[in-house]
Amino acid sequence: MGLDLFLGQLPIILFSLVGGVFADRMDRRKMLLGSQYIQMTCAFVLAALFFTHRIAIWEILALSFLVGVGQSFGGPAYSALLPTLVPSEDLANAIALNSIQFNLARVLGPAIGGLAYATLGATWCFALNGVSYLAVIASLLAIHVQFVPPKSKDSILKSMKQGLVFIRQRDGLSSLVFLAFIATLFGFSYTGFLPVIVQTVFHQGAQTYQLLLISSGAGSIAGGLLVAASEKLKQQGYVVLLTLIGLGASIAGFAWSRWLSLSCLLLFLSGVAMMASASLLLSLVQLIVSDQMRGRVMSVYNLAFRLGMPLGALAMGKVIPIVGVSTALAGTGLALVGIAICFVIVMRDVPIFRRSARQAA
């Protein structure tokens, strides 16, 4: 299982930056369609292998790697495509709504998959997964994109370098990418250790774990709705830092809580802060990036965002046996609070992180 998860993520680490270059050179809709075709084909191949009872471990690992390849090119195209579908003033709302559907899928997907596996078996479970891509493909075929990719004779390596230079030179952009990494490193990986909290702190079982998951998921949906329903926020960068402080504080409070009701409340608040900060960070990056560089910039941002969680989980797995789960979780929360406060102090002269509208003007 560990090798399968690693091989599924490895192409995203290896090829995301290349995918960002292609997202700036190709029709993003067609590129995303290609990604969906790859993933759908892998799902149907897996279903066929199970149906014929000729499945081998290496085949599963190879298909996971191919799915990761499709995602490594589809991810930058998807991120770059979204801003071309809505006006800039509605971008934050669109990103928040997109985050809501992502979290709903994250909760409902395994539940539906588990039900399909239990009632229909593995073959139909994988086949239904393949069928589900048809809805995405139909949606992509129905939309119209205005972006016309510019022609470029630069090498892929040179284009990647241009994207990195753009991030470094654009005021505040490199800080946003760093914050995305820090947020997932310290603020998002704690959910993977909820079973440890349930077992070692509350001495309960699956029902308590499910209650904690529901609390966190409900908070995530509420946070997304809150951002989506709000008007265009001023000083989004400063608001992001405040939400990260709130996220770190709620994680630290949850780590030391021994009252289940309070723990559920703190998990709900952490879910709100997690989703709000992720949505606002993404919308900020999208707003300050030019369309010609969007694919490359979003590939770097997505890579930073996705790297933080597994690295954080890996570090937590090493630290928890030494200091205990409560101390480890509290440490990550307080680290996030400290970094966010440092940003409030150090980055106060950067326009997107300024506190007052007058200063920003």
- List pLDDT tens digits, range 174-199: 999 999 999 999 988 787 788 888 88
pLDDT at residue 64 tops 70: yes
Superfamily (CATH) of domain 2-144+154-360: MFS general substrate transporter like domains (1.20.1250.20)
Q: Which of 121, 302, 104 is nearest to 217 (CA)?
A: 104
Q: Which of 150-154, 250-254, 278-282, 319-323 has the lowest mean pLDDT?
A: 150-154
**Structural domain spans, the chain:** 2-144+154-360
Q: Which of 330, 223, 209, 326 is nearest to 268 (CA)?
A: 223
What pLDDT does 357 receive? 38
What pLDDT does 232 receive? 62
Instruction: Say what the alpha-carbon torsion angle 150, 304, 248, 169 is, to the nearest 10 degrees.
Output: -60
Q: Which of 188-192, 229-233, 259-263 has the lowest mean pLDDT?
A: 229-233
Please report, rounded to a whole number, the percentage of residues in the chain having pLDDT higher than 90: 32
CA gap 228, 37 in Å, rounded: 31
230: left (phi over 0), alpha (psi -120 to 50) or beta: beta
Most confident of 144-153, 173-182, 204-213: 173-182
Q: How confident is the model at residue 253 (pLDDT cuts 50, 70, 90)?
A: very high
What pLDDT does 354 receive? 65
Q: Phi and psi dihedrals of 334, rounded to 5?
A: -70, -35
CA gap 8, 63 in Å, rounded: 9
* Mean pLDDT on 16-21: 89
Cβ proximity of 76 and 18 under 8 Å: no
- The model's pTM is 0.79
Terminal Cα-to-Cα distance of the chain (whole angstroms)? 52
CA gap 27, 24 in Å, rounded: 8
What pLDDT does 111 receive? 64
